[in-house]
Amino acid sequence: NDCEDPPGLQEKTEFLLKDWVSIYSQSNTVTRETKNFGSFVQKMNMYGILKTDDLITRFFRQATQFCIDLVYRILSDQTHNPAQVKAKIFHWIDAFVHLIALLVRHSGEAGNPTTKINLLNKVLGIVLGILLKDQDIRGNTFSQLGYHRFFLMLFLELSVPDTVLESLMHSIVTAFSHTYHLLNPVSAPGFCYSWIELISHRTFIGRILAQIAQQKGWPLYAQLLMDLFNFLAPFLRNAELAKPVQIMYKGTLRVLLVLLHDFPEFLCDYHFGFCDVIPPNCIQMRNIILAAFPRNMRLPDPFTPNLKVDMLNETATAPKICSNYVTNIQPGNFKKDLDSYLKARAPVTFLSELRSHLQISNEPGSRYNIPLMNALVLYVGTQAIAHIRSKNCVPSTSNIAHSAHMDIFQNLAVDLDTEGRYLFLNAIANQLRYPNSHTHYFSCAVLHLFAEANTEVIQEQITRVLLERLIVNRPHPWGLLITFIELIKNPIYKFWDHDFVHCAPEIAKLFESVARSCM
């Protein structure tokens, strides 16, 4: 609440903070520090700071504001050299953070984590609030430095090997994840570079993705990555990236590569939600996510002659999809009509109305509801797989035809315009990943659409969608490779007969080079 701080609180806060900073600088052994901390808490008590929850909140708000004001004062003081400036700032922030960490660690009874976590959330919320207000007020002169230092050092202080803190790890990581989510770059663009540093710090990644049991930190981290992609998306939609965007984009690639290398299963499980927000033209960044496969899986060489994908054991298993994509199929009556069409191929009008549900504007480049398109394609595909399996068959290019599911896909291929069909084919290509039942089904589906296409335009566009994913630098998803190889090798697709294969010398050469590496 905004009612005034009690008189004298500011002076007390400043005095206590300065006192603590000098204590912090002297005590460099653990024992001396604990003794000092004990007497300092008594001093806080004596000043009445710890008397009520409200006073504690006001103290932290005052102390944070004091530190931030000090940061700006030191930054504007030209007498210091840059290295000194940061050392001075960090000296204050680190001391303040250490006090908070000790208060969190020692507050409440030993066995009662609630008091500790409540205090942590309170402090994080206070700093978050001051940061957002500060960014609003200062605009382009906002400095991320003090806040960056605060959040990072507080997380490191609460991540030290300590039995009490270890037992709180999940709650501590959750508190920071929620704070970082509220601090996402769309809300705090002035803090975006520090933000990506914070969420990708080696200790934070280690905690949230590896050390919290049963992968309970994964949904939290997936949310943070979604925040990052949401922020970058509008700036990545155009091929030329401004320098500030380029730095963020390159940083994102580094983070994704660390995740691909250390936690591929995480990318596998959350790929669907990420593909909803990554712009369709970010081919390579999306490929990093789609190329992930479980570490215990051995991928057969895609160039193996006569590779029988449907004979692979993994093809029978559905991949884990940790996105509640079905809820994207809106509105409710559309979902009802969809289900009834899948069940009984009625109402027949369903197909002719399909595009009207997907198209949301006439603005070129943003005509379609991409999350709905992606969800529709995956939903129809999973229903098709279940339907085929219910007849004890394995999906193949022969038994996926002449079904309500394929009616929908063929209708989309024919009825949509170039932009819409591009997004539709992308939705399919986004399922071409490591060996699993979705990869196999959608590989058959896209090949079937190619074979049954009633115009060459569709065949060309299918080729373009696959090709643009193959000509970028590695990595390339396994499912994409085996689909393209099948397309150019299997004579039933008459791939080489099409004019567009020879439309330009470099394109012909490209196909031949890919063909050579396949044969």
Partner 1 sequence: LGTDLTGLGLNLNSQESLHPTFAGPFADQPCRAQDVDYNVPPEYLIN
Partner 2 sequence: PLGPSLLSKEHQMQFQMMEAAYYHLPTPSDSEKLTTYFHRTPVQTPAHYPQSQLPIYDTVEFYQRLSTETLFFVFYYMEGSKAQYLAAKALKKQSWRFHTKYMMWFQRHEEPKIINDDYEQGTYIYFDYEKWSQRKKEGFTFEYKYLE
Q: Is 28 in the site for partner 1 (CB under 8 A)?
A: yes
State the Cα torsion 242-243-244-248 to the nearest 10°. 100
Amino acid identity for residue 41 in this structure: V
Q: Which range of residues in 69-77, 253-261, 388-396, 497-505 is near partner 1 by CB under 8 A?
A: 253-261
- By a kind-dependent CB cut-off of 5 to 8 A, residue 7 interacts, out of partner 1, partner 2, none, with none
Q: How far is CA 236 from CA 29, 184, 240, in A?
A: 49, 17, 8
The CA distance from 138 to 111, in Å, is 43
- Secondary structure class of 359 (helix, strand, coil): strand
**Choice from 74, 104, 172, 209 touching partner 1 (CB under 8 A):** 209
Give the H or E element holding residue 381. helix 370-390
Q: Minimum Å distance from CB 237 to partner 1?
A: 16
Q: Which does 258 bind (CB under 5 to 8 A by kind): partner 2, partner 1, none?
A: partner 1
What minimum distance in Å lies between the beta carbon of 456 and partner 2?
16
Query: Rule CB under 8 A: is residue 108 a binding residue for partner 1?
Result: no
DSSP letters, 410-453, are HHHHHHS-HHHHHHHHHHHHTT--SSSHHHHHHHHHHHHHHHH-
Measured in whole angstroms, the distance separating CA 52 from the mean position of its chain's CA atoms is: 40
Query: Quick one: what does residue 239 bind among partner 1, partner 2, none, with the CB cut-off 5 to 8 Å set by partner type?
Result: partner 2
Binding pattern to partner 1, positions 286-305, x when CB under 8 A? -xx-----------------
The interface partner of residue 257, options being partner 1, partner 2, none and the CB cut-off 5 to 8 Å by kind, is partner 1
Cβ atoms < 10 Å from Cβ of 46: 11
Does residue 492 belong to the site contacting partner 1 (CB under 8 A)? no
SS3 label, residue 517: helix
Interaction partner, residue 253 (partner 1, partner 2, none; CB < 5-8 Å by kind):
partner 1
In the complex, least distance from residue 247 CB atom to partner 2, rounded to whole angstroms: 7
Binding site for partner 2 (CB under 8 A): 83, 86-87, 90-91, 94, 135, 139-145, 148-149, 152-153, 156, 185-186, 189-194, 197, 201, 231, 234-235, 237-239, 242-245, 247-248, 280-281, 364-366, 418-419, 422
Tell me the two tokens of residue 87: 């050392």
Out of partner 1, partner 2, none, what residue 243 binds, judged by CB under 5 to 8 A for its kind, is partner 2
User: How far is the C-alpha of 369 from the C-alpha of 364, rounded, in Å?
Assistant: 13
Integer Cα distance of 460 and 135 in angstroms: 49
Judging by beta carbons within 10 Å of its beta carbon (0-12, 13-18, 19+), is residue 421 exposed, middle or buried? buried
Residue from 107, 137, 136, 142 nearest 121 by CA: 107
> Which one among 100, 104, 145, 196 touches partner 1, defined by CB under 8 A?
196
The sign of the CA dihedral 162, 163, 165, 169 is: positive
* 466-485: contacts with partner 1 (CB under 8 A): 471-475
Residue 288 interaction partner, one of partner 1, partner 2, none, beta carbon < 5-8 Å per kind: partner 1
Which of partner 2, partner 1, none is residue 472 near (CB under 5 to 8 Å by kind)? Answer: partner 1
Distance of CA 411 to CAs 195, 244, 343, 354, 407, Å? 44, 42, 17, 8, 6
What SS3 class is residue 289?
helix
| Partner interacting with residue 261 (select from partner 1, partner 2, none; CB below 5-8 Å by kind) | partner 1
Smallest distance from the beta carbon of 240 to partner 2, in angstroms?
A: 9
The 119-138 contact track toward partner 1, x by CB under 8 A, reads: --------------------
Residue closer to partner 2 (CB basis): 80 or 201: 201
Say what angle helices 9-26 and 53-76 make with each other, to 10 degrees.
70
Give me the least distance between CB of 217 and partner 1, in Å please: 13
Residues that bind partner 1 in the complex, under the rule CB under 8 A: 28-30, 156, 160-161, 193, 196-197, 200-202, 205-206, 209-210, 247, 250-255, 257-258, 261-262, 283-285, 287-288, 471-475
